[in-house]
Amino acid sequence: MRQYDFDLFTIGAGSGGVRAARLAAGFGARVAVAEERHMGGTCVNAGCIPKKLFAIAAHYGEDFQDAAGYGWSAVRPSFDWPALIANKDREIARLNGVYEQILTSVGVRIFRSRATVADAHTVEVEGRRMTAAHILVATGGWPAVPAIPGAELAVTSNEAFHLPQLPRSIVLVGGGYVACEFASIFNGLGVETTLAYRGERLIREFDADLGTALAQEMAKKGVRIRFRANVAGIARQGDGLRCTLAEGTTIEAGAIMFATGRAPNTRGIGLEQAGVRLAANGAVIVDENLQSSVPSIHAIGDAIHRMQLTPVALAEGMVVADRLFNKAARRMDYANVPTAIFSNPNVGSVGLSEAAARERHGDVAIYRTEFIALRHRLTGRNERVLMKLVVDKASDRVLGVHMVGPDAGETIQGFAVALQCGATKAQFDATIGIHPTAAEEFVTMREAVA
């Protein structure tokens, strides 16, 4: 007689949880998944997918303008916000079904309700207690909102995907991925957009040159950026809102959106009572095997707050399933994880920033170029592309590849393979470029900057 109802019970059907459940079931494990919201988690429903669709929509305004430089007659396009929302929702619903099919096709049992941890091997769901040899916490994250007066009047990325109408103006509070992406989205859709950030440089986790270049290009496109701006309170002002900054100045707008980070969605599901150690921000503390302080309880993705990226959660899910049910000694490698910000222009990055490379390796060489892409030689748009390589002088190995410009994410993905293989600057130099492309600049930079 089997000791437990399931071999693996996964709480959360986001990207990482679904991947772990599917693989575990493929290895012969008896698997259950509980999801209280929508299949696919943050990425599918309130993150990567809808945000990228919105970013694509926001680019069309510029594309219509640029077409004149290529002989197309000027047109006066109009934008239909409800149509975008409806089309986005239809695609999300399709993906929800895909994720459910992924699980049911391999025999995973799905509970469409909230699950909590009762003890090391017990989960409570739908008024019943289910036992499992292993429990996987894949509950994702939730937007963090500062505790200031009037904070409830603002929206977060959760609500931004479902606004009944576009505001006439908006203040984005934050300076990271989500803030920059939504500032570009709203600005591109014709909303008067202000980005208020308490720091002195956007996307501070990235190479410093990227943050500087991104701010310059976003400002050219009409985004008003206010640095060292701490929001102290929000109040209603007529039919809009008034945002008061710490120094006393105010900004009025039709809407205010917080993009001030995300916190692990781990509180209130019984982890502490089961003996699982949590960090101050709620992240499940795990070891290199993604195992918590309770050996039978594991955690991945935004719940552990290491790298809040969907592909990382997918990889972590595979590590857990492989180790538990395939007897593999697979480990997570967080080095050289590529990432992109779908702002306008895009940001792409893989490897070490210049500052991190100098700290870890000492003497480094920096290769850097800025230029106007061929496309804009006919449009007249003064949008510049930035590309940068960080190279270890001792070994000649390329430590970082960074870009601000159109389709930066598409470009950086390929170079991530090169870094994973330990490519050197000499090998970059020996690679023939594709002409005329922006990407070829990464293999034609010969002179290091001072």
Paired with 390 in beta bridges are 366, 400
Alpha helices in 206-267 (DSSP H): 208-220
Q: Which of 59, 121, 361, 435 is catalytic?
A: 435
Cα 321 from Cα 348, distance rounded (Å): 30
User: Going by DSSP bridges, is the β-strand pair 122-125/262-264 parallel, antiparallel, or unpaired?
Assistant: unpaired
- How far is the CA of 82 from the CAs of 8, 163, 173, in angstroms? 41, 9, 25
Shortest CA distance to 58 belongs to which of 89, 92, 81? 81
Active site residue 38: no
Report residue 305 as tokens. 């707050």
Between CA 347 and CA 444 the distance in angstroms is: 20
Q: Are 323 and 291 in contact (CB under 8 A)?
A: no
**Alpha-carbon gap, residue 271 to 269, rounded angstroms:** 6
233 alpha carbon, distance to own chain's centre: 27
* Residue burial 270-294, b: 16+ Cβ < 10 Å; e: rest: bbeebebebeeebbbebeebbbbeb
Q: Which residues contact 144 (CB under 8 A, 6 or more apart)?
A: 258, 260, 261, 262, 263
Nearest one of 268, 273, 322, 313 to 140, comparing CA atoms: 313
User: Which letter does DSSP use for residue 151 in this model?
Assistant: G
Cα–Cα distance, 337 to 360 (Å, whole number): 17
d(CA 264, CA 386): 34
| DSSP character at residue 342 | -
Residues 6+ apart with CB under 8 A from 37: 45
Enter the DSSP assignment of 121.
T
Active site residues: 435
